[in-house]
Amino acid sequence: MTQKENMQKARDRCLGDQQLRTQEAPKKVDKELVGGTAFERNQRAFPVIPKTRCYGIGNSAEPSSGLMAPHKGNKVLDGEDQDALEMREDLLKVCRIHF
Element (H, E) at 69: strand 67-70
pLDDT tens-digit profile, the chain (99 residues): 888 898 999 999 999 999 999 999 999 999 999 999 999 998 888 888 889 999 888 787 778 888 887 777 777 666 667 888 888 888 888 876 654
pLDDT at residue 67, rounded to an integer = 83
Q: What residues make up the domain containing 47?
A: 3-98
pLDDT at 32: 92
pTM for this structure?
A: 0.78
Q: Can you give the pLDDT at residue 20?
A: 96
Distances (CA, A) of 50 to 53, 64, 87: 8, 19, 21
Residue 99 confidence (pLDDT): 47
Q: Give me the DSSP letters along 5-55.
A: HHHHHHHHHHH--TTT--SSPPEEETTEEESS-HHHHSTT--BSSTTSS-B
Exposed/middle/buried for 93, CB within 10 Å: 0-12, 13-18, 19+? middle
**Which run of H or E residues covers position 86?**
helix 82-98
Count how many domains the chain has.
Answer: 1
pLDDT at 97: 60
